[in-house]
A and B are shown apart, each in its own frame.
Chain A
Amino acid sequence: MVTVIHPNLDQTDAKMNASDVSVFYGDKMAIDNVSIEIPTKYVTAFIGPSGCGKSTFLRTLNRMNDTIPTARVEGTITLDGDDIYRSKMDVVQLRARVGMVFQKPNPFPKSIYDNIAYGPKIHGIAQGKEELDNIVEVSLKRAGLWEEVKDRLTDSGTALSGGQQQRLCIARAIAVDPEVILMDEPCSALDPIATAKIEELIAELSGRYAIVIVTHSMQQAARVSERTAFFHLGKMVEYGRTSDIFTNPVEQRTQDYITGRYG
């Protein structure tokens, strides 16, 4: 069975390119031969029923699967044409270029300032305190959190509300100036108002970064993304412009899923 790729995709540069990617946990196959282009400066949504491998595939894009001892990745994934699984690839550099935001907000138990400064310090991005201050401010502003926290940068990041924590995590990812941001269900632990803020933020960021977002909410996928990929049982079933996928799905399974007839 081959993936249905909708024909009228407008031509953009591919930021990342996955071809024939399969992922195994031990002997168990979790991703089966997926090929996809992640366009520059667009939001791409991954949708699909629980357990279909969305997170697994997302994590191959910044090699976070390396942290799971049993996980094994086959196929090639490129970032700007460079194979990220080649042996000489510097994973530290890769993750600076491909940032990640998790399902549950996971600020470090440090001050708000130190949370943002974490990445720049590790990667030696800032020269001196002033530049670091500047990075912190810009990142928080881009994440729409500056106004809320500018007077209490020394408070612990874990003392913020859930929605603020998630924006802090986005700001933390932005602070190292990545090219791609991966988000795994970034709103699933948040209330509707906080969710709306994050969606707004994604829309603002999409001009600047390539964003890949995993979501269980059809409305969210429809609202924030330009491209949508539907996954099922480890395979990518259908991929195309979001408007096409939602109005004109080719596969029966896609249609069933987006109309809610599917788990």
Chain B
Amino acid sequence: MSPAILLLLAVGLGLAGWLAARARAWAFRRESSDGRLASLPTYHAWYVALWVVLPLAAFITLWSFASPYLVTQSVLATPAAAELPAFGIQRESILREAQSVASGSASAVFNPQSEAFVEPFRDALARYNLIGLLATLVIGFAGGAWAFLRLRPDFSARTRVEKIVMSLLLIASLVAILTTFGIVASLIFETIRFFGMVNPIDFLFGAHWAPDPMANPDNPDPTRYGAIPLFWGTIYIGAIIAMIVAIPLGLMSAIYLTQYADPKVRSWLKPALEILAGVPTVVYGYFAALTVAPFVRDLALSMGISNASSESALAAGLVMGVMIIPFVSSMADDSIAAVPQSMRDGSLAMGATTSETIKRVLVPAALPGIVAGIMLAISRAIGETMIVVMAASTAANLSANPLEAMTTATVQIVKLLTGEGSFDHPATLSAFAIGFVLFLVTLGLNFIALRVVKRFREAYE
């Protein structure tokens, strides 16, 4: 029986519990002398309903993972299983096929060997479906009955419901955090596997990047796993070229918006700027690959630079810079606006012009916030993938010439994970090591940025 049906059943039982508990609470109310209960009847109802549904939800989740395994195990225990090939893809597909036929999602077997397993699967499925159904009913009734029997006129159902709801909210927030931990843990795990095959020193300090997914996985050539060109490409495109575009433009637009634009202009210019942040990065990618990159190449050719390629760090960096202008400008905007008006008045009253006031008072005072914004923008830029995938290149290249093709960490991750290599090949695993380093760098940048912003906020509040 599918988990969805069991869940539906759980909700039905919960509803029944809800109605029963409410009726009971109303009965208490009628019987009591002053017609008052410690909690409203709906709280009694919710108390019972939650006690029915929550244990069931936990059970059904577990069951939906456990039952396929149990079914397969019991099929393998039948005598027919002795005929199966011991290992590998064949065995898997035979079993899978028999299972689909047994559960009715396929009409006939293709592999004759599967035939023998259809019947055992059918039996096992029927058996475990029944077990699941019965367990659901038992758990639902047990939870409901336990809660129902605790109902009394003076029972504080409200505080208990509040507590249950609070723990649900807590769990909801933990999900995000735990997921992060899970991601980090899997990254670390794969990274350690990779470093078991390739020395971290070779990885972090080697200057030649050319992993070969077809090479013998047991004996990787460490000189092909030097990640410096990747990190250089990432920094060159994301933190240097993009920032050369984004910092001045973002800062100047923030200054214009906070200090010069009259409210009407500001009211449409600021949202318009923020739309930039909402454009999907793939679209920026098209723009970079189809418009900016050819333009950069033609410009270079017309200036007599003959070896300009159509994939250049410059094109990717320029477009990425435009993409992160809103990040820089909105942080700068916020922090300049957070400088108290009295600073500005004080400076103007000294006879400073608006631009002197901006240069000498507002920007220095807002600097921590501006710097934090820039760091967030950098961490965003170096994690960005689509633009570089489309406009830069996949060739690792250690060069300072912006017209050359370069690659970044994220692009390599995409390339390695979508490539031909098998999953436990060092070339594939190296993607995790790159991801891990990238993760540490962006985490560090974000951490510093948030600290700086917090300090800055405190200074003016």
Contact = CB atoms under 8 A, between A and B. Distances in A.
Contacts of A119: 350-351
Interface string B360-395: 110011000000000000000000000000000000
Nearest to A175: B350
B342 A102 contact: yes
Interface of A: 62, 64, 67, 69, 91-96, 99-100, 102, 104, 106-110, 118-119, 122-123, 158, 169, 172-173, 176
Q: What DSSP secondary structure best describes chain B's contact surface?
A: helix
Interface in B423-444: none
A108 B351 contact: no
Contacts of B364: 109-110
Contacts of B349: 62, 64, 95, 99-100, 102, 173
Contacts of B345: 64, 67, 102, 106
Contacts of B342: 102, 104, 106
A69 B350 CA distance: 19
Contacts of A123: 351
For this complex, into which size category does the number of interface residues on chain B fall? 20 to 34
Contact of A118 (B340, B344, B347): B347
A108 B262 contact: no
Contact of A99 (B347, B350, B353, B365): B350
A94 B353 CA distance: 12
B340 A106 contact: yes
Most chain A CB inside 10 Å of its own CB: which residue of B262, B344, B349, B360: B349
B351 A176 contact: yes
Contacts of A91: 351
Contacts of B347: 108, 118
Most chain A CB inside 10 Å of its own CB: which residue of B346, B347, B459: B346
Interface string B326-346: 000000000000001011111
Contacts of B459: 109, 158
Contacts of A172: 346, 350
A122 B352 contact: yes
B361 A92 contact: no
A123 B352 CA distance: 8
A81 to B, nearest CB: 20
Contacts of B346: 102, 106-108, 169, 172
Given A64-B345, A176-B351, 4 more contacts: A104-B342, A108-B347, A158-B459, A172-B346
Most chain A CB inside 10 Å of its own CB: which residue of B346, B348, B351, B353: B351
A64 B357 CA distance: 14
A95 B353 CA distance: 10
A92 B459 CA distance: 30
Contact of A108 (B343, B348, B353, B356): B343
B350 A118 contact: yes
B369 to A, nearest CB: 12
Contacts of B262: 69
A172 B351 CA distance: 12
Nearest to A67: B348
16 contacts: A67-B344, A94-B351, A99-B349, A102-B346, A102-B349, A106-B345, A108-B343, A108-B346, A118-B350, A119-B350, A122-B350, A122-B351, A123-B351, A173-B349, A173-B350, A176-B351
Contacts of B365: 108-109
Contacts of B356: 122
